[in-house]
Amino acid sequence: MELYLLQHGLALPAEEDPEQPLAKEGVAQIQAAGRVLQRLGVRPGLIACSPKKRARQSAALIAEAVNFPYSDILESELLLPLTPPQETLRLLRRHSESGALLLAGHLPSLAEIASLLLGNGCRVRIHFENGGLVRLDLPEVAALQAELRYSLTSAQIRLIAD
């Protein structure tokens, strides 16, 4: 399974909008990530996201870029920021036959998922940032032995996308 972990784009502060939708810069970050995924030929079998607005918007922008049907985006509480990574693995197991899987979510959960899948019992630190993208290859979800293929910052994504 190809597993793509996408941190949502930059969001408005809660003081400005309590739902914290994507800011203009956040939309641009995710659109660039979508162009990169499209250029790389990534065709997710499933896009899943947290129910928070900024993650839903990020998932929708990626879906648009890679021609994934909006109606098939899966919203899951298992992608909320503080969900333990072992619980999120239930989602991966359920959809392990989907081929490429893209999760649009938040910190700290994305970093903890990556650490669990890469660390073989040890903590691994992976840098995530708004609009950043990490690809892990996971031969078998139950084995918890992923391989880091790449980790792209938002700035790197912009360079590749433009």
**pLDDT tens-digit series, residues 41-68:** 999 999 999 999 999 999 999 999 999 9
CATH superfamily for 2-161 is: Phosphoglycerate mutase-like (3.40.50.1240)
Question: Which letter does DSSP use for residue 100 in this model?
Answer: S
Q: How far is CA 86 from the centre of its chain?
A: 16
Distance CA(63)–CA(100), nearest Å, equals 13
Residue of 120 and 91 predicted with greater confidence? 91
**pLDDT tens-digit series, residues 64-114:** 999 999 999 999 999 999 999 999 999 999 998 888 999 999 999 999 999
Other residues' Cβ atoms within 10 Å of the Cβ of residue 83: 20
Please state the domain extents for the chain: 2-161
Which amino acid, one-letter code, is at 99?
A: G
